[in-house]
Structure 1
Amino acid sequence: MSNNYSQWQAMLAISKASFRAIFRSPSAVIFSFAFPLIFILVFGFIGGGSPTVRIGFTKTTDTTQRNAVYQQLAKYKTIRIVEKSEEELRNDLSKGRITALIDMQPNKSDTFPLYNISLLTSTASVDRLAILQSTLKDIIVNIDRRAAPDAPTYAKIDLPPPMPGRVYKAIDFILPGQLGFSLLSAGVFGVAFLFFNLRQQLVLKRFFATPIKRGYILFGEGISRVLFQLITAVVILLIGKFVFGFTLVHGVVTFIELLILSLVGLIVFMGFGFIVSGLAKNESTIPPFANMFTLPQFLLAGTFFSIDTFPKWLQPLCRILPLTHLNDAMRNIAFEGSHLIDCGKQLGILGLWGIALYAVAIKVFRWE
């Protein structure tokens, strides 16, 4: 009789039952579907994102104290100066990540206008260009009134034809973050509550009375969780694409790569869940333990805001978190046009997190 027992069939039976149970759980549906979709809808309809205008300067720009326009522009709270190489700045410009690449050159003859300002823009940044132009004109007018009231204008603005670019919409930033939010919530809360309840309700003990091996129990429950979250990812991506125009650079190929990346992220995050379920003494201790892992990542991993907006001393901590690298990889694949093979750094760090998490999970996980 025992020779005819199939571990695989038993595992698939567990997966099927667990899959049905997940859909019957209000908390699973809310955390995996409702919360991310609510945030996507809110940010999608807002669409405008932050009013901050990001700009860069060429290497030859005069940034000395003599250049009054530069000094005044750097003080504006709505202006954020991005410091990168000129090649990186041009790349960001073509993708709408900065509004303009500015070149400020003094007039060699020392006659008015004293400075020539050239604004290199792209078709991806036209929505913020008006804000930048208005800011520069206000600065120049104020300088003219104060320093040279009877002379021609202090600086002249030149606007060359914009370079071609791809518009970086608010949904292109927020959707990968919310997908990561959903995966992290499911991996931590879902797995922690699942295995704790299986122990408390003596379901695992009943499993042990059958010939199924323990590893197949884990695989069976894990498969159901993975399938559910992949369905969640598909729904989120499709709504983002067809309702809000979420960018999938390579179409179906990008869509499939995002699903594969979601699978990798979920497997890593499930390690947090196994640790929490092993440490929790009762059901009321699961949320505090789980929030220790999830809350810092929700706030600091670039889920809602770019890491660049945080203080510089905090950014290295942000870049340690696994959700940060999952979000970065998703945005690179969806908008930048990268492929999984180009995300070696992010995948490598996620892999290291996975190894560390499951090493701890093996030590603390309890069957009874």
Structure 2
Amino acid sequence: MSRLGRVGAETGTGWRSFVRRRTAVFFTFFFPIILIVIFGALVRTDPTGGGLFAEPPGYYVPGYLAVVVLFTPLSRMGSEVSRHREGKRFEKLATTPLSRGEWLLAQTLVNAVIIGLASLLILGLVVLLTGAEIAFSPLLVPYVLVGVVCFCGVGALLGSYADSQDGAIAASNAIGLPLLFLSETFISLEQLPGWFEPLVNLSPLTYFARGVRAATYPDAAAQSLAGVDPSIANLGILIVLAAVAFALGARSIPRTD
């Protein structure tokens, strides 16, 4: 079987495994919806005031998308790798032509489809419930795809080194929650201490948020990087980080258990 055939077969298996878990399907789409309803429709924003959620609704679109782009790959990949380790499945995988990189690519493709559908739902709800005025840039597609690749790699790392499936999920939450709020998604740099800015720049999610905001929210004050459009420059940085994360994640997956 060719490499394309192996990846395609494993992708189909991963997709069927996901849709059979009705609870996982429900919460994958339910969690970001609740977040939008609470913060976007109930709390609302106050552009004339200050503090948290003081920007217009369109400013927070990257944050809402980040919920699924960040949490879904971290939790799903972390638990999937850990579950395979506990079930001695990687030992069986080592006897097949499917490599670790191909296995991770197949799982990433499954996540890309799931998160792509969730992102469409989120964008529709943000516009409908909050009245956000956004530009539907074609750059949204590569941003979501590259973000999924990046955090699937990180999730694979967590699942490879966590001592259990529960440990992998706990680690994904411990990493995901700070990143979600401290990567220029819901909280701007101006609201953080000056000394914290270098740490913000270490987060891959920061470049996702900056780039998506530059592409979808023209009113955002986005600075060009070396004279390059910020929506393009941040995507380039995210691609590099995603390639590194994916390579490390594939390498961390054990050959045997």
**Structure 2 residue identity aligned to 1:221:** Q
1:109-145 Cα shifts (integer Å, max 9, x gaps): xxxxxxxxxxxxxxxxxxxxxxxxxxxxxxxxxxxxx
The question of 1:11 aligning with 2:45 is answered: no
Give the structure 2 partner of residue 145 of structure 1: none
Q: CA deviation at 1:243?
A: 4.1
CA pair 48-227 structure 1, distance change in 2 beyond 3 A: closer
**Structure 2 residue identity aligned to 1:351:** I
Identity between Structure 1 and Structure 2 (%): 23
Q: CA deviation at 1:334?
A: 0.9
- Structure 1 distance, partners of 2:203, 2:142, is 20
Give the structure 1 partner of residue 130 of structure 2: 244
Alignment of 1:12-27 (within 5 A): 12-26=8-22
Match of 1:37 among 33, 38, 42: 33
**Structure 2 residue identity aligned to 1:9:** G
CA pair 360-18 structure 1, distance change in 2 beyond 3 A: closer
Give the structure 2 partner of residue 235 of structure 1: 121
The count of residues paired between Structure 1 and Structure 2 equals 247
- Structure 1 distance, partners of 2:167, 2:124, is 36
The question of 1:347 aligning with 2:235 is answered: yes
Alignment of 1:135-214 (within 5 A): 169-170=56-57, 172-214=58-100
- Structure 2 distance, partners of 1:309, 1:36, is 24
The question of 1:357 aligning with 2:239 is answered: no
1:181-233 Cα shifts (integer Å, max 9, x gaps): 21111121111111221232233444444444444333222211211111111
Q: CA deviation at 1:265?
A: 1.0
**Structure 2 residue identity aligned to 1:347:** L
RMSD over aligned Cα atoms = 2.9
Q: CA deviation at 1:317?
A: 1.9
Alignment of 1:305-316 (within 5 A): 305-316=187-198
CA pair 47-194 structure 1, distance change in 2 beyond 3 A: same
**Structure 1 residue identity aligned to 2:139:** E
Aligned residue for 2:147, secondary structure, equals helix
TM-score for both structures, normalised by structure 1: 0.59
**Structure 2 residue identity aligned to 1:176:** P
The question of 1:216 aligning with 2:102 is answered: yes
**Structure 2 residue identity aligned to 1:317:** L
Q: CA deviation at 1:350?
A: 1.9
1:46-90 Cα shifts (integer Å, max 9, x gaps): 36414764xxxxxxxxxxxxxxxxxxxxxxxx69xxxxxxxxxxx
1:285-335 Cα shifts (integer Å, max 9, x gaps): 213432343122023113333232122222332233111221111111111
- Structure 2 distance, partners of 1:212, 1:187, is 21
Contact 1:180 1:323 in 2 (8 A): yes
Contact 1:308 1:315 in 2 (8 A): no
- Structure 2 distance, partners of 1:211, 1:363, is 16
| Stretches of structure 1 lacking an aligned partner (at least 5 in a row) | 54-77, 80-96, 98-167
CA pair 300-311 structure 1, distance change in 2 beyond 3 A: same
Give the structure 2 partner of residue 321 of structure 1: 203
- Structure 2 distance, partners of 1:278, 1:330, is 30
- Structure 2 distance, partners of 1:313, 1:359, is 31
Moved more, 341-350 or 187-196: 341-350
Give the structure 2 partner of residue 226 of structure 1: 112
Higher strand share: 1
- Structure 2 distance, partners of 1:236, 1:325, is 20
Choose between structure 1 and 2 for higher RCO, CA contacts under 8 A separated by at least 6 residues.
2
Higher helix share: 2
CA pair 344-269 structure 1, distance change in 2 beyond 3 A: same
Aligned residue for 1:303, secondary structure, equals coil
- Structure 1 distance, partners of 2:22, 2:255, is 25
